[in-house]
Amino acid sequence: MIPWTAISDYAGVTQVQRTIDSRHRRDYIAVMAEKINSTFEHELKRLEKRVDALVRVCDQLQDENRSLKQRQDVLTSERANLLQKNEQVRARVEAMIGRLKAMEQGS
């Protein structure tokens, strides 16, 4: 390779140097653009996979939420039934206690 100081002494060499530089620049830019596109595509695919994973998680959470709401409805209904039965049993026990007291006083 000829040193830059030697080339710059010749007439018209700066134009040749610019032409050479522009060719290298185009090649370099093309390679860099390809690398950028490749990196962009890789990042885009990675992002797409993450979005797909998030969609799957959201679907799972929606299914779980739906199931938990159904379970909560069942448990709420069971609780209401148990409270009603508890109230009925309490009323029956109080009635029996009242009858026992009445029997004691009658004897």
> pLDDT at position 39, please?
86
Sole residue written with tokens 């039965």: 85
Q: Is the pTM of this model over 0.85?
A: no
pLDDT in tens, the chain (107 residues): 444 444 445 555 455 455 555 656 666 666 677 777 888 889 999 999 999 999 999 999 999 999 999 999 999 999 999 999 999 999 999 999 999 999 999 76
Which tokens go with 68? 């938990």
Q: Say what the pLDDT of residue 84 is.
A: 98
Residues 6 or more apart in contact with residue 12 via CB below 8 angstroms? none
Residue 14: partners with Cβ closer than 8 Å, 6 or more residues away: 8
* Separation of CA 2 from chain center: 59
**Every domain of the chain and the residues it spans:** 22-106
For position 1, what pLDDT does the model report? 46
